[in-house]
Structure formats: structure tokens, C-alpha cells
Structure 1
Amino acid sequence: MNKLSTDALPDTIVAALRSCVDSEFPRTVDELKSLVAIPGIAWDAFDPAELDRSAEAVADLVRSTGIEDVRILRVENGGVQGGPAVVARRPAAAGKPTVLLYAHHDVQPPGAAELWETEPFAAQERNGRLYGRGAADDKAGVLAHVAAIRAITEVLGEDFGVGITLFIEGEEEAGSPTFRRFLEEHRELLRSDVIVVADSSNWKVGVPALTTSLRGLVDGTIEVRVLEHAVHSGMFGGPVLDAPTLLARLIATLHDDDGSVAIEGLVASDSAGVEYPEADYRADASVLDGVRLAGTGSLASRLWTKPALSIIGIDAPGVAVSSNTLLPSARAKFSLRLAPGQDPEEAMAAVERHVIKHAPFGATVNFTPGESGNPFATDTDRPAAQIALWALGAAWGTDAVETGIGGSIPFIADLTEIYPEAQILVTGVEDPDSRAHSANESLHLGEFRRAVLAEALMLARLNVGAPRNV
């Protein structure tokens, strides 16, 4: 595959797109505020009518770009009714590629109201940021697509021949339970040469990023059993250790003395190409003074290209209801993030081998596998990635950083499997202080404007002599 030169976009086009994005930006922000006001949450405990209202609002926004083929679709998977997705299509001209633009319109629940400094569903501007649930994750992604399409259409008119497919999901924050089924049912409708997933973050305010790797994920439960039933801790304690104590000893074997994951057979590398200063990490992660950081190698590699294991839940009586008994069993749920290149099935098997091998004091250990998702890595030598890096740099006025993300986006593995020839680009509008999923979620409006421009520039560059298979 030949690389495309990234200097083929005339300066006049770049300037015209910049001017259009800037002049339309107040409208874009107002539309984002209106979208944030709709509490579309794809969880069973919340009103599904609001999610439908959110989808209708997104469909109206998409129609405002001039795209006429706009649909609201949902599928059922295993008896689960999926959230409403907005799908829109603008066919490609002969010889031009098709780009799928992904975002999601559903949001996380607001959480405790007392933790918010503003009303979560009444977007408010303050000090250059827009506060509100979904302002960053991911309704800004929706508006970035809409505004970029408007700008490119205004500037290039009929000369713009790139095909556009919009896929705005309505259940991402609920774990995308019908996503795979949706792809299977609408495989041809969504088929594209390039897929842009606008659901990630930039490196920091003023420095854009293309997310080039994501860790995969496996989780499951580990149960330790030592007795057939609970017994009096005074009458029988001493010769046998209770299940929570033994579970703690087993959990302790999952990491070595420096805090690295100690499970044999997991993929790890120290290949991250970006420096993440320790002071920045401590501030971003709210690490308490005096806490020693775990692992070896660069901080970026510990976050992006090495495994990370956490215990995210323990089943044992709470302190308020505890009694003087030796507990017969205890259970913990683990979450293991996987480095790019790791097969999730092999990782799950490695965890099981480890906990069985390290069963403390001969206790019975039961392992129950849970969910899994593949890691992701993009080939930045391919033309679409080169164009994206150029567009980000042009929009921000500084070179884009190629970053990993310590988290996982499992549905990207589905996209990779269903569309193996497409190049997937993960972009975003967030920054380290966006606080997605948390109280006081916010969007840096300056970064948002640059994200819109970057996407418009990328689409314009793809329109200039790009081969169909980019």
C-alpha cells in the first residue's frame, strides 16, 4: 500500500474550512447544549422514552447536513432489545472511498447530584469549558461529525465525493449488548473503507492525539472454599484459616513485589513511544502522596502495552453485619487489561492456571470466566492514518501524538472482525480533565473546535485523489 502525500490539499481549502468551522461554531455549541439536555440513558432503570428522544434529535441534526437517507434502527439479541441507533448514508462518487463516522448518543447516569457543581442535564459554559453529562462523552463526538460534514459540504459542494456513513450508537454506555448483532444484520449498510471512532481523548489541551492502541479485557470470579459451612471462630479458629484470609493470600500472588502482574504467559512490551511524566500521572489519577507506583518500565508502557490486573469486587460480609465466625467461602472479581497482541482466551486460561496453582493451604479454588474483549492496534503507516495525523497537526498547529489508551473499547474488535479491510482510526474530543463518567464532566471548547476542523480536513484530504482502499 503506497502512502499518500499529505500536502495535496490547497491552502485555500484549508483556510476556507477553518473559516467555516469558526463561523458555525456558536451554532454547533448551541446544538450540543440542546443534545446534552436530553437524559438518554440506555440502562433499564431509566426512562427509555428519553433515549428515543435523543435518537430523534440526533437524526434531525444529521438531516441538517443535507444527508437524506437517515434511519433510526435497533436490533434484538438474545431477547435483549437494543438501543436506537441513528444510521445515515451519503453514497460515494465513482472511485472515492467511503468513511464511516462513529459516535454514541447515550450517556452515563448522572450519579450523586450533590457532587455536581452544575445541573448535569443543563449544559453550562464556564472558563472555556462546557459542563454537563455527555458534553464530552460522547455527544461532542456526534456534533463533531455533524459540524465537519456541514463544513466540507459548504466549502467543496458537489466536488466532495467521499461517501459518508454515520453510525451513532444508542447503547454504548450500557456495554453495547446488541452491537455485534447490529453489525451482522446491517453489514453491507455500514461497510466502509475507513472507520473513524470519535470516542477517545487527546493527549492534553493543546496537543492532539490519534489513539493507536487499546488494551483488551478479560474478567471473571475467583472463589476460595475451606469449610462446608461457617463455624465459631473461637471454638475452631487457629488450625484453619478463614476463606477471606486465604482469598487475600491468593490475590497477593497476582502481582510481584514491584507490582507487575505475575501471571505467566501474558504479552507485555515497553514499546510506548510517548513520555508520561510521573507528576502528571499522579495528578491525573489522584494518587495520594507517599503511594509508590507499581510496575517497571515507562509509565506509558505500563498504561498501554503491559497488562494490568485489578480486583474490582469482593463478596464477604460487610463490617456492620460481621460475626465471630470462620467464613467457609469468599469470592472476588478480577479485571485484567491486556496488552496489544494478547489473545483473550489465552489470557483467561493463564489466569485460571495461576489461581489453581497458587491455591493457598490446599483450599478449593473455583474459577469462573466472565467477559472478554480483544486489544487493538492500528497500522499508522497506512494512508488513512497518515492523513489523520496530518489533519490533527494542521488543526492544532502542532504535531499529533500517537498514544495508547489503558482502557478497552471491546466493540472495536467486532468492527475489525466484520470489516478486516477497513482501517479503524480512534479519535476524540476529550482531554485529561474531561472527567467522563464522573460528576462535573466537561468539554474544552477550544479543543472541540479544533477536533471539528481536524475531521473536516481529513475528509477533504481523502477527497483528493485517495484510492478507494485506504
Structure 2
Amino acid sequence: MSRDQLIQQARHELDSGALAATLARRVAWRTESDLGADATEASRAALQGYLSEEMSPVLQALGFEVQILPNPVPGAGPFLLARRIEDPAAPTVLTYGHGDVVNGQTPQWRAGLDPWQLNVEGDRWYGRGTADNKGQHSINLSALAHTLQARQQRLGYNLTVLLEMGEEAGSPGLAEFCQQHREALRADLFLASDGPRVHAERPTLFLGSRGAINFSLQVQPRPRAYHSGNWGGVLSNPGTRVSHAVASLIGPQGEMRVAALRPPAPPERLRQALHDLPVGGGSDDPDLSPGWGEPGLTPAERLVGWNTLEVLGLGAGSAVRPINAIPASAVAHCQLRFVVGTDWRNAEKHLREHLDAHGFTDVRLEMGMSCAATRLALDNPWIDWALASMQASTGKPVSLLPNLAGSLPNDIFSEGLGLPTLWVPHSYPACAQHAPNEHLLASVAREGLALMAGLFWDLGEPGAPWRAGALAQATA
């Protein structure tokens, strides 16, 4: 079978209805991992069952040896580790996905939709996990099955699959698991799918992700509220203090004011990669805010090549039914998204020093979750190889995204395991992941099948840069 015939067969997976049937079965698993104290025995069992009952038989049928392994973090979701070894001396690809999803939010879905049932409406396939991430790893494994068939069950390289069941809860235990099983996860290339394309019509390759740090600013000068008429003007207002503390961090047009947490200027190679990158413009995308963000940068540079500070939540008193009282406390929940080169490990120190220098010694700083920024070096030979393969499969130009604007646990693979990382997303920005009415576009899924079949095929061809210097490259 030729490469072109393989691409046609892979697309037929969608045209025949086979992919929809597979995804309908997987969406029905209520694999919510972010329930916290609301988790039940049934929800915990679903995380285990998705791996043991749904995914293990599929991978075993493709020639993988499969293990379901516990999480090093007590109570966190299990892992699936599957290995398909054709030759111990051959190179190895590591691929990854997650079978867990965010909570269903059933009451908020549009009438006629159910998060645990695949509903097809034209190009849109609705259901929790269709975009993040059940649909994406289903596309990849379907493309792999067709490639194996086309290659008479010989890829020419080894393949390892890692599935986790806690990504939506912050991937607890993933780093520890990868270190514990470092030998079994040893590979030469990381290739996976998550996150969105830059646009539904633009096949996309991204090489890492921005990092993220969540933190809160809190003020509580006294244990209870006091009447604003009797005490206004002589008691400090926590809402006012927190608002001004936020304004010291973020300017009125969204520009960062914490000098120590600003990134280095985008390098010229990065600016070239972002030159024609579209931001927004889709039918469901919001209109961009003119003049918002760092001055002197394009929208793509602000989104992908720069740092942003965002307010995620702001509270003081009762916003729903305010009363005539100075509130007892106020809080602002904030997030820093940052690129490679940011001094993020000292973020707490930099924030504290900035607040103190601006007179906000009364503002308590509480740090939350964090993950590192990553980006494969832009001269890595795997990049041009992947772009050429993807263009050959679709006949379309491919957008190169040096790093995803959002965040993924990519540092565990790029830094922890030392791998060059390639991500080929099969979703799009308006997919409503994490929200009601999450959906996958069938047109993007069909193209994703072709993209991944082409990549799996080309990895077995002589032109793959297994020994052309890519393995020695470190992440930027």
C-alpha cells in the first residue's frame, strides 16, 4: 500500500462512521477527574475502567503489551503504559493522551445535548471529552491502526503509549511516574495531540507551551464587616486595597508592570515563526480588543511569545446583593502565563518585593499551582520534517506555533525525559473545552486522521531524522 492510499483509508475511518462510534463509546465513560471532595466511588471506578476496559483491549489488538499502573500520589487517577517493541535496537516514539475530563456541567448544556452522549449536528460532534482529549487520542490510535495495516504490521520503529487519568486535575503524580518508569518510557521522539489549532482551517504544529502560575492576593484587616456610613473614611477598605494592588501589577490596557517577571524580547527566529500566524477570525471567536496587551507586539507575539497577567476572579462583600458595609476581606485570584526565559521559579519573591515596594505590605500573597514553560529549539531538524509530512498529507500550509499559548505538562517530557516534543492538535479555539457544549469538528478530525497516518508512515521512512542531530538537541 502506498502513502496516498493510507491517507485515503485513514480518512474513511471518519467517513464510514467508525470514528464516531468509537468516540461515542468513550464519551459515555464519566471520567471526571476534577471533582475533588465531590468524587464518588463510581467516578473513581470510571477512571480505572476507561483504561482497563476501553483502552487496553484496543492497544493489545495493535500488538502492545499493556500495563495499568497506580499513581504514586494516593487517590489520584491511574496510568496506562503500553509498549510495542519491534526491535530493541530501533528508535522509539513516545505518545501521550489523557482519558480524564473536567466535570460535566450537565445543567448548563444547551437543550438536546448531554455531556455523556455523543450528539452529531452537522460538522460538530458534541460531548465531554470530544475535543479534550478523548477525541484527539482516538484520532491518533485510529491513524496508527491504519498505518500498521498499510505496513503489514511493521512500523520500522518502536512505540510507547502513555495515558493518564488526572490531567484535568493538574496531572498529579505524572512527573513522579515518569521518573519511576524512566527506562520503560525511554524514547527518541515525543509526538502527541492536545490543545487547539490556531484556526479550524489551519493544520498546526506546536513545540511546547507557556508555563502558568496561579496566585491570590488577599486582604483581611478585621474579622467582620462594618457599616459604611458609621465607619466609612476611617476604616481601610479591603476591596479598594486589593483593587489597587492588582492595578500595580497590571496596567489599564493589560500590560505587565512587574519588571522582574517580564520575559526577554522575542528572538528574531520566534518573530519570523509568528509572522503570519492568525489570531481569532473564526465564526465563534471573540473580537480582539484593540490596543490590549504589551505595546509594540503583534497579537500573535502577545499571545504566544510574551507573558500575561490575568485576573481570574475578584471578590469583596456581596456582588449579588451588596449591603451598606465595608467588607471584612477581599481577594483577587490571578494567573501568570509565561514563556521560556522568564524567572518563574522566583515568582513569589518578585511579586512580594513588587507589592511591598508599592506600599501593599498588608496584602497577603498565596501561591498556587505552577508548571514550566517549554519550547523545542526552532532549529531542531524534527520541525521541518514534521511540517513537510503534514503539508504532504493535507496539501495545506501548516502553522508553526513555537509554543501553545495555554499550558500542558510538556516539561515532564521535554525536560524530565529529555525528548524533542511535537504536538499536532485536532481541536480549534472555539471548541468549548472545559465549558458546556464542548465539541469536536468532524472536518478537523478527518484532517487529523490524515495528518497522523502520514506522520506514523513517514517515521518509518529513511528521511526521518532519527540520527540527523535531532536527538542531541535540547529544548530552548
TM-score range normalised by the length of the shorter chain: 0.7 to 0.9
Contact kept, 8 Å, 2:228 with 2:326, in 1: the verdict is: yes
Contact kept, 8 Å, 2:221 with 2:328, in 1: the verdict is: yes
Contact kept, 8 Å, 1:207 with 1:396, in 2: the verdict is: no
Query: Of the candidates 40, 47, 52, which is equivalent to residue 31 of structure 2?
Result: 40
Counterpart of 1:374?
372
Change beyond 3 A, Cα 1:72–1:325: same
CA distance in 1 between partners of 2:166 and 2:222 (Å): 43
Query: Of the candidates 81, 86, 99, which is equivalent to residue 87 of structure 1?
Result: 81
CA distance in 1 between partners of 2:282 and 2:252 (Å): 21
Contact kept, 8 Å, 2:60 with 2:66, in 1: the verdict is: yes
CA drift at 1:348: 3.2
Query: Of the candidates 46, 69, 73, which is equivalent to residue 50 of structure 1?
Result: 46
Alignment partner of 1:175 is 2:170: yes
CA drift at 1:314: 3.4
Contact kept, 8 Å, 1:275 with 1:299, in 2: the verdict is: no
Cα deviation digits, residues 328-373 of structure 1 (max 9, x gap): 542322111112221321333222221121125xx62222222221
Counterpart of 1:280?
281
CA distance in 1 between partners of 2:435 and 2:317 (Å): 28
Counterpart of 1:336?
336
Counterpart of 2:326?
326
Change beyond 3 A, Cα 1:254–1:386: same
Change beyond 3 A, Cα 1:76–1:278: closer
CA drift at 1:93: 2.4
Contact kept, 8 Å, 2:11 with 2:447, in 1: the verdict is: no
Taking structure 1 as the reference length, what is the TM-score of the superposition? 0.88
Counterpart of 1:306?
306
Cα deviation digits, residues 420-452 of structure 1 (max 9, x gap): 2x2111221101232211221111122212212
CA distance in 2 between partners of 1:240 and 1:392 (Å): 63
Change beyond 3 A, Cα 1:62–1:222: same
Q: How does 1:327-366 map to 2 (within 5 A)?
A: 327-359=327-359, 364-366=362-364
Contact kept, 8 Å, 1:58 with 1:105, in 2: the verdict is: no
CA drift at 1:281: 7.7
Query: Of the candidates 118, 137, 142, which is equivalent to residue 137 of structure 2?
Result: 142
Cα deviation digits, residues 306-343 of structure 1 (max 9, x gap): 11111223353324565444345423221111122213
Contact kept, 8 Å, 1:202 with 1:431, in 2: the verdict is: yes
Provide the aligned length of Structure 1 versus Structure 2. 450
Contact kept, 8 Å, 2:92 with 2:157, in 1: the verdict is: yes
2:345 aligned counterpart, secondary structure: helix
- Structure 2 residue identity aligned to 1:242: N
1:101 aligned counterpart, secondary structure: strand
Taking structure 2 as the reference length, what is the TM-score of the superposition? 0.87
- Structure 1 residue identity aligned to 2:405: G
Change beyond 3 A, Cα 1:334–1:345: same
Q: How does 1:200-219 map to 2 (within 5 A)?
A: 200-219=195-214
Structure 2 unaligned blocks of 5 or more: 472-476
Alignment partner of 1:433 is 2:427: no
Q: Structure 1 or 2: larger strand share?
A: 1
Change beyond 3 A, Cα 1:281–1:146: closer
Cα deviation digits, residues 153-176 of structure 1 (max 9, x gap): 111125422100011111111111
CA distance in 1 between partners of 2:417 and 2:363 (Å): 40
CA distance in 2 between partners of 1:245 and 1:381 (Å): 49
- Structure 2 residue identity aligned to 1:138: N
CA drift at 1:74: 1.9
Alignment partner of 1:22 is 2:11: yes
Counterpart of 2:67?
71
Counterpart of 1:6?
none
Change beyond 3 A, Cα 1:293–1:149: same
CA drift at 1:276: 5.5
Q: How does 1:126-205 map to 2 (within 5 A)?
A: 126-205=121-200
Q: How does 1:114-129 map to 2 (within 5 A)?
A: 114-116=108-110, 117-129=112-124
Alignment partner of 1:249 is 2:248: no
Alignment partner of 1:101 is 2:100: no
1:30 aligned counterpart, secondary structure: helix
Q: How does 1:393-412 map to 2 (within 5 A)?
A: 393-403=391-401, 404-409=403-408, 411-412=409-410
Alignment partner of 1:454 is 2:451: yes
- Structure 1 residue identity aligned to 2:292: L
Change beyond 3 A, Cα 1:181–1:213: closer
Contact kept, 8 Å, 1:379 with 1:385, in 2: the verdict is: no
Change beyond 3 A, Cα 1:227–1:282: farther
